[in-house]
Amino acid sequence: MLGLNYIKELFSNLLFRGDNYLVIEILNHYIQATVIKANLKDKKIRIIRNLIAPVGELSPPVVLFELKQLLKKIGKIEKYGIILSLDSCFSSTTYASASLVRQHPKDAVDEADLDNLISQAIWRFFDKNRYKVAQKLNIDEVDVLLSNVQIRGIKIDGHKIVNPMGFKAKTVEVFFSQTLVGREFMGGLRDLIPKEKITLITEAGTAMSHIMSRALGKEDFFVANLFPNHTAFFSSSSGRLAHHDNFDWGEKDINGSLAGHFCVDTDVAGLIMQKYATNCASQNFTRRFENVLGKELQIFANGLESLIDDDSADIYLNPFF
């Protein structure tokens, strides 16, 4: 679970749309549906209901089938504003900016000019990144769809302005987040969820990195989401946030290593890990256990180091186990 703070941030700019929301998280090993009651006046969020379904295979047919079963338990989803937080294998969200040179810098920016500039920024970035996203999602380039855009700010000649209309400017820089999703998966979602009720679609790890950037007041860092089978790595650098890479290491590697060393099955190894984590083991066993655990965690550290060039970079770990 990504936690209440994560869910609160997703609503920060959306509360005016209504009070009732359904947050659907489709991540590496589970689907989670959370019904939220948002009070705009008091700036409070109350979790009404939470349902979780494990997922053994992250293929669109399997995920969409499990999601359909979960939504049946929720009931009439038409009464909710719906937020979709997706795994990196289904979506790609990038927080970035695009700078454009105006053809007539002596003319004041009007609404039509601003709309045109924003459209140019969005589509230029989409065309530039579509091939890379297609490779990440393992689909054809023509099947990459622009599913969500959020405009987050405007700069006029390098100065941040709330409302740029009426100003003269040589350059306009548009700050935005852009989410791309595969055609097949998006089509399956629309069969289950009313299109007009979807308030936001985002890649979970990138959204979390954005939240951390704001909370920490930092721009340069990495976030590692640790799942059962792999680690998803996200980067924040100079205002640009995006998925960086994955590598094969997760909870099953820890349990597998412990199972081999102590000659037990992986379920028992997981229980041993829980005992250690809650300080329910003798000192002699703890020392022996940490020796084994340390060797496995060194493999994990080597995986992290292989993805970054700066040894001094801050890395924040978010284990889902």
- pLDDT interval class at 317 (50, 70, 90): very high
Q: What pLDDT is recorded for position 15?
A: 47
Q: What pLDDT is recorded for position 5?
A: 62
CB 22 within 8 A of CB 33: yes
The tens digit of pLDDT for each residue in 6-59 reads 666 665 555 444 578 999 999 989 999 999 887 777 777 888 899 999 998 888
Token representation of residue 36:
């939220």
pTM (2 d.p.): 0.85
Cα 220 from Cα 90, distance rounded (Å): 25
Q: Which stretches of 3-110 are DSSP H helices? A: 4-10, 60-74
In what helix (H) or strand (E) does residue 31 lie, and over which residues does it extend? Answer: strand 30-39
CB 2 within 8 A of CB 41: no
* Inter-helix orientation angle 183-192/60-74, to 10°: 20
Distance (Å) of CA 206 to CA 29, 39, 87, 177? 18, 26, 10, 10
For residues 185-201, average pLDDT: 93
The tens digit of pLDDT for each residue in 237-267 reads 888 999 999 999 999 999 999 999 889 999 9
Token representation of residue 27:
């991540």
Residue 206: which of 41, 306, 76, 93 has the closest Cα? 93
The tens digit of pLDDT for each residue in 122-147 reads 999 999 999 999 999 999 999 999 99
Q: What pLDDT is recorded for position 46?
A: 84
Residues 6+ apart with CB under 8 A from 210: 9, 95, 177, 236, 241
169: buried, middle or exposed (CB in 10 Å: 19+, 13-18, 0-12)?
A: buried
Q: What pLDDT is recorded for position 103?
A: 87
Q: What pLDDT is recorded for position 135?
A: 95
CB 225 within 8 A of CB 250: no
Q: What pLDDT is recorded for position 14?
A: 52
Cα 258 from Cα 277, distance rounded (Å): 14
The gap between the terminal CA atoms of the chain, to the nearest Å, is 9
* Inter-helix orientation angle 251-262/266-277, to 10°: 100
